[in-house]
């Protein structure tokens, strides 16, 4: 059974509760100061709880420096990067119309599909008990 919980940014009580029992946490990093700060706190909390995690960058392509900082975050913490979803106003329009991203023909779809494949692979690894990050490889070796 797969349960996906979309929690709010930050590490408040609802987020902590949603991490309890999670086999895999997908930390979505929005390229920008507050998005990166929130993602760092989530990633550190997730690691302290011994949960597997991967990162997914969202809304990239607007600010090269913010994109670089967002990419550096998971790498600096040893967390695999599933991919990047570039900012695309067509994706936002689809949501505002009540549709989904899958309803849109967009240049962002190829990176989105690749990221979803990486998330699926990580979920399968978590389900089979295989580590999803270097940090967990070290834990299993000791």
Domains and CATH numbers, the chain: 13-141 (3.40.50.300)
Is residue 71 within 8 A of residue 110, CB to CB? The reply is: no
- Work out the percent of the chain whose per-residue pLDDT is above 90: 46
Global pTM reads 0.79
Among 27, 80, 37, 79, CA closest to 58: 27
- Whether the per-residue pLDDT at 136 is higher than 60: the answer is no
Is residue 31 within 8 A of residue 59, CB to CB? The reply is: yes
Give pLDDT, residue 130. 59
């Amino acid at each position: 059974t797969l349960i996906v919980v979309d929690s709010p940014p930050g590490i408040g009580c609802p987020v902590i509760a949603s991490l309890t029992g999670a086999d895999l946490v997908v930390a979505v990093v929005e390229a920008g100061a507050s998005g990166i700060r929130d993602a760092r706190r989530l990633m550190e909390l997730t690691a302290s709880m011994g949960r597997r995690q991967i990162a997914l960058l969202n809304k990239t392509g607007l600010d090269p420096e913010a994109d670089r900082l967002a990419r550096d975050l998971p790498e600096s913490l040893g967390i695999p990067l599933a991919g990047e979803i570039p900012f695309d106003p067509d994706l936002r329009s689809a949501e505002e119309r009540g549709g989904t991203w899958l309803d849109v023909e967009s240049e962002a779809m190829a990176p989105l599909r690749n990221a979803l494949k990486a998330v699926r692979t990580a979920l399968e690894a978590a389900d089979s008990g295989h580590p999803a990050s270097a940090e967990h490889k070290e834990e299993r070796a000791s």
